[in-house]
Amino acid sequence: MDVAPYEWPAHQVRRALAAGQVSARKVAESALRRIDEVEPAVGAFLHLRAREDVLADADAVDAAIARGATLPPLAGVPAAIKANMCMRGVPASCASRVLEGFVPPYDATAVGRLRAAGAVILGATNMDEFAMGSSTEHSADHVTRNPWDLGRVPGGSSGGAAAAVAAGEATIALGSDTGGSIRQPAAFCGTVGLKPTYGRVSRYGLVAFASSLDQIGPLTRDVRDGALVLAAIAGADPADATCAAEPSPDYEAALRRDCRGLRAGLPVELLGGGTAPEVRSSVMAAADLLAELGAEVDECSLPTVPYALDAYYVIAPAEASSNLARYDGVRYGRRAAGAADYVEMFGRTRGEGFGPEVRRRIMLGTYALSAGYYDQYYGRALQVRTRICQDFEAALARFDVLVGPTTPSPAFAFGEKTADPLQMYASDVCTVAVNLAGLPALSLPCGFHNGLPLGLQVIGRAWDEETVLRVAFAFEQAADLTRRRPPLLGAGRMGG
Amino acid sequence: MGGVGAPAETARRWQTVIGLEVHVELATRSKMFCRCSTAFGAPPNTQVCPVCLALPGSLPVPNRRAIELALRAALALRCEIDPDCRWDRKNYHYPDLPKGYQITQYARPLGRGGELTFAGAGGASRTVRIRRLHMEEDTGKSTHEGMPGGATGVDLNRAGVPLIEIVSEPDLRGPEDARLYLQALRLLLLYAGVSDVRMEEGSLRCDANVSLRPAGSSELGALVEIKNMNSFRSVQRALEYEEGRQAAALDAGERIARETRHWDERRGITFPSRSKEEAHDYRYFPEPDLGAVGLAPAFIEDTRRSLPELPADRQARYEALGLPGYDAGVLVADPALAAYFDRMLRAGAAAREGAALLSVELLGRLNAAGIGVDSPECRVHPEQLAALQGLIASGSISGKIAKDVLDEMLATGSDPSVVVQRKGLQQISDQGAIGEAARAAIAANPQSVADYRAGKKQAADFLVGQVMKATRGKANPGLVREAIARELG
């Protein structure tokens, strides 16, 4: 083997384990060594589990193999979890000071299922505080650097998860996507990121940002891994009333190398004036490639999508203002010291505990819901949301998938957008509409510009992740871009 | 009553308008959105989980049983049911509200437009319209007891316990009616099996909106909300006080402030609570963690059909059997007692006489002993009491002897016929034996016979008494009277 196990996709880990070519311990050790090597530069993690705990999990997989047990689908695969998902015994800080010291006593459903599928969990990854941001610069702890260019952001809010996968620190990761928080960092870091249909994956144990939009999904090296991870975490959960009873198909079986008989729409609104020329040309080239693979590609229109950003930045903060009300210093996390009474303790805890972006959104959302403004803001945003759903429904009646850019530009530099929140919000322009409509969408690399990856977004019908994965897989196999690795220190070398 | 009276003249000048908001804990074993126990009285924070502690990442899952009980309540109150009713969030901050919001129903409640008919003050029938009935979750409790250094403790055992809130229209016209409505509502919910409705344990809580308006006016005056009324009696007392306070203020030309006031049970007054608490904007919005409640028409109909006979129907049935309204009411007011009575009826007891035997004789004895009619310590079964009533009706024993038989039945659990046999208490109706006893009494009391003959007819009563005494009360008094009259010629 010419590359170290930390570079392998999950399906290769599985194959090698099944063939007895490697042990789960070797795979884990390789990942841990890679973390030692590059983590100081990348800063993908907020919390790493103790080395011996990680190796003990890997040893348990090896012991099961030795017993002749059937290998679960993600056996021995090193995995990273965004720090807004609960893992028993691992701090889930959401990169916020307000959750300092909070160690969940329970596993999120998706995390539990990943463990049950044999994944070896490495730790919790960095993010924008409470998933509010598009660059991971809003982490209260530290910034995460883009493995392709350490002077640039990895995207956000699942920036740590995307960077960990891109840098070879983790084979797979779970992120969460409220307005693009899986797809945008996947695009910036050159990985595959999948936001499933709303209700496909249980949100139980995912710290809520905007409940009607949040969805957990995989960040992976390639499309096949995305299918594998989705299969492991998807499906009904009695602990989440919004998680659907829809059966989860065999996503891996949906992967095919062609797009014959598929119709792909190219929404003109996703390639609007704000789109960087390199992004536009890369997406157009991708459309051509899909046509070569047998797809019928045609332009289409989603007329209300330009209003999605406005609706999103009313609905998401409104839900967040309520979801974040529980961080009051009473039961867990940070509590301001020396307050004379509850009101003072509460105010100071939240004032000290939340960063400026979170405070801004809580205020936005509180305002949007307040008496006399509800109809004007929240009510109106819900109307826009309904119209956006109708637009997508109409377009997806004509097309099997919609394709476009994941982001209007490649990864930006640190500090480039932090001064102006509206500019930062605008980087979500291609992704938020999908969350409002609850649809599945995947981002995968479709080109490079000045050494920075660009992302192609494939949007599907509700509950039809299979077609999304099929189109993405066919494109991936033909474009052959996902095997490119960032020029990071140590990349591609044998792990000692 | 309260410190301020409501003189009759004032009462004529002002009309009192009252609406009640009643919270009722549903009789489920587990909480509204998690599986924690709802049992009352457990040590603090022992009935909690990630969901009711509002740990990050936890999500609510509705309790189907709670929804079914709420539906039963709405149907019992003749509400119009919204099968597509929704959940909303009510946002406010308080230490005992762990999520910082309460999951409730705001825009689309489970039930609207119901009514409750009950016997109001003076026995007159009153109907109060029900504006809405909705489901929600309870909060925890803040406590200062046993906390060091003036700290506040929070007990979240109650957080998430299922509640319904029943809001009446302002149809009540006086404090006594308000209390009677509340008691009728309690009884209805008890019958429907919705709640144990114990006011002292807080499973039934009541706030009142009170306003006064000039008699004859149809506009509502400034609304005052009264909280902290912890018993049926305190509801009436608080409202009487408030009625008097507002009337006095209005008589003095003052304006009534729209405010929330707390009832102070000990001092017998209401006082304004801090107005800061009222400046709430609850920012209601649809609960994104939950879909519509989704009540299938068949489920609603099945639930409607599964409702037992409700108090008003039972009252009507008893009255149709010949029970006076008051007597029927005594039985209906206690479901255990009414159930006992129904078993007596099924065993063949006559309604009126059976009811008297139950509510006067048996209940009197049980109450004195502190035993409930449905308690295993009550050794007289309804079928046995019905049999006792049958023995009286057939003349086998007298009503007087029946009391002794009942005492024995309570002590031994024996059937009345067994007691009568064992103790030889069978009524003597044998003409010969009674005639003999009458002749003996006449022979032994010549003075009484002389008195009788001299026109003092009461002397016969003495002779009858002598016969009863001689037979230890067992002789049939009617036959004895006849025999004495016959013998005295």
pLDDT, tens digit, for every residue of B441-453? Answer: 888 988 888 888 8
Instruction: Determine the pLDDT at residue A441.
Output: 98
Of A241, A332, A366, the CB nearest to B59: A241
Residues of B within 8 A of A241 (CB-CB) are 59-62, 289-291
**Residue A349: inside a domain, yes or no?**
no
Residues B240, B369, single domain; the answer is no
Task: Work out the minimum CA distance from A216 to partner chain B, whole angstroms.
Answer: 12
Domains in chain A: how many in total?
1
Residues B72, B95, single domain; the answer is yes
pLDDT band at A495 (very low <50, low <70, confident <90, very high): very low
- Alpha-carbon span A298 to A226, nearest angstrom: 27
- Alpha-carbon span B434 to B485, nearest angstrom: 12
What domain range includes position B343?
309-423
**Residue A487: inside a domain, yes or no?**
no
**Residue B2: inside a domain, yes or no?**
no
Q: Are B159 and B138 in contact (CB under 8 A)?
A: yes
pLDDT band at B295 (very low <50, low <70, confident <90, very high): very high
Q: How many helices (H) and strands (E) does chain A have?
A: 15, 11
Tokens 């919790």 -> residue: A124
Task: Lowest mean pLDDT of B68-72, B281-285, B319-323, B461-465, name the range.
Answer: B461-465
pLDDT tens by residue, A208-224: 999 999 999 999 999 99
Does the structure show a pLDDT above 80 at B186? yes
**Inter-chain contact A238–B61, Cβ cutoff 8 Å?**
yes
Does the structure show a pLDDT above 70 at A419? yes
Q: Are B6 and B236 in contact (CB under 8 A)?
A: no
Nearest CA in chain A to B95: A330
**Inter-chain contact B281–A211, Cβ cutoff 8 Å?**
no
Instruction: Determine the pLDDT at residue A422.
Output: 86
**What value does the mean pLDDT take over residues A470-488?**
91
**Residue A243: inside a domain, yes or no?**
yes
Q: Are B166 and B192 in contact (CB under 8 A)?
A: no
Instruction: Determine the pLDDT at residue B14.
Output: 93
Whether A374 has its CB under 8 Å from any CB of chain B: the answer is yes
Residues B93, B201, single domain; the answer is yes
**Inter-chain contact B55–A212, Cβ cutoff 8 Å?**
no
Residues B385, B467, single domain; the answer is no
Tell me which of B267, B299, B331 is where a domain ends: B299
Q: What's the burial of A72, exposed, middle or buried (CB within 10 Å: 0-12/13-18/19+)?
A: middle
What residue spans of B57-162 are helical by DSSP H? Answer: 64-76
pLDDT tens by residue, A73-126: 999 999 999 999 999 999 999 999 999 999 999 999 999 999 999 999 999 999
Interface list for B 312-331 with A (CB within 8 A): none
- For the question of residue A93 being annotated catalytic, the response is no
Task: Lowest mean pLDDT of A42-56, A71-85, B41-55, B440-454, name the range.
Answer: B440-454
Whether A346 has its CB under 8 Å from any CB of chain B: the answer is yes
ipTM: 0.95
Instruction: Determine the pLDDT at residue B395.
Output: 79
Residues B280, B148, single domain; the answer is yes
Residues B367, B402, single domain; the answer is yes
- Alpha-carbon span A36 to B196, nearest angstrom: 62
Instruction: Determine the pLDDT at residue B275.
Output: 56
Tell me which of B299, B328, B352 is where a domain ends: B299
- Alpha-carbon span A223 to A473, nearest angstrom: 6
Residues B483, B388, single domain; the answer is no
- Alpha-carbon span B231 to A212, nearest angstrom: 42
Summary mean pLDDT of chain B:
92
The residues near B115 (Cβ < 8 Å, ≥ 6 apart) are B77, B78, B127, B128, B129, B130
Q: Are B230 and B198 in contact (CB under 8 A)?
A: no
Copy the structure tokens of residue B184.
């009728």
- For the question of residue A417 being annotated catalytic, the response is no
- For the question of residue A157 being annotated catalytic, the response is yes
Residues B467, B368, single domain; the answer is no
Domains in chain B: how many in total?
3
Does the structure show a pLDDT above 50 at A496? no
**Inter-chain contact A319–B288, Cβ cutoff 8 Å?**
yes
pLDDT tens by residue, A350-367: 999 999 999 999 999 999
pLDDT band at B420 (very low <50, low <70, confident <90, very high): confident
**Residue A310: inside a domain, yes or no?**
no
**Inter-chain contact B285–A374, Cβ cutoff 8 Å?**
yes
- Alpha-carbon span A125 to A95, nearest angstrom: 9
Residues B82, B229, single domain; the answer is yes
Residues of A within 8 A of B53 (CB-CB) are 331
**Inter-chain contact B288–A207, Cβ cutoff 8 Å?**
no
pLDDT tens by residue, B216-274: 898 888 999 999 999 999 999 999 999 999 999 999 999 999 999 999 999 999 999 86
Q: Are A98 and A189 in contact (CB under 8 A)?
A: no
Whether A340 has its CB under 8 Å from any CB of chain B: the answer is no
Strand-strand pairing, A441-449 and B259-264: unpaired
Tokens 């939950």 -> residue: B290
| Among A228, A109, A127, residue whose Cα is nearest residue A171 | A228
**Residue B282: inside a domain, yes or no?**
yes
Summary mean pLDDT of chain A:
95
Residues B141, B201, single domain; the answer is yes
pLDDT tens by residue, B198-221: 998 889 999 999 999 999 898 888
**Residue B141: inside a domain, yes or no?**
yes
Instruction: Determine the pLDDT at residue A493.
Output: 41
Q: How far out from the chain centre does Cα A308 lie? A: 20
Task: Work out the minimum CA distance from A44 to partner chain B, whole angstroms.
Answer: 22
Instruction: Determine the pLDDT at residue B458.
Output: 85
Between residues B373 and B274, the one the model is more confident about: B373
Looking at chain A, the whole-number percentage of residues with pLDDT higher than 90 is: 91
Q: What's the burial of B40, exposed, middle or buried (CB within 10 Å: 0-12/13-18/19+)?
A: middle
**What value does the mean pLDDT take over residues A283-306?**
97
Instruction: Determine the pLDDT at residue B3.
Output: 43
Does the structure show a pLDDT above 60 at B5? no
Whether B55 has its CB under 8 Å from any CB of chain A: the answer is yes
Instruction: Determine the pLDDT at residue B2.
Output: 41
CATH for B469: 1.10.10.410
CATH for A163: 3.90.1300.10
What domain range includes position A431?
5-305+385-479
**Residue B69: inside a domain, yes or no?**
yes
- Alpha-carbon span A190 to A372, nearest angstrom: 45
Residues B224, B83, single domain; the answer is yes
**Residue A219: inside a domain, yes or no?**
yes
Whether A203 has its CB under 8 Å from any CB of chain B: the answer is yes
Between residues B432 and B7, the one the model is more confident about: B432
Copy the structure tokens of residue B103.
């999951």
Instruction: Determine the pLDDT at residue B8.
Output: 61
Looking at chain B, the whole-number percentage of residues with pLDDT higher than 70 is: 97
Tell me which of B404, B423, B442 is where a domain ends: B423
Does the structure show a pLDDT above 50 at A147? yes
pLDDT band at B394 (very low <50, low <70, confident <90, very high): confident
**Residue A295: inside a domain, yes or no?**
yes
Instruction: Determine the pLDDT at residue A492.
Output: 44
Task: Extract long-range pairs of A342-346: CB within 8 Å, 24+ residues apart.
Answer: A342/B95, A342/B152, A346/B93
Residues B400, B467, single domain; the answer is no
Whether A130 has its CB under 8 Å from any CB of chain B: the answer is no
- Alpha-carbon span A349 to A359, nearest angstrom: 12
Instruction: Determine the pLDDT at residue A469.
Output: 98
Instruction: Determine the pLDDT at residue A190.
Output: 97
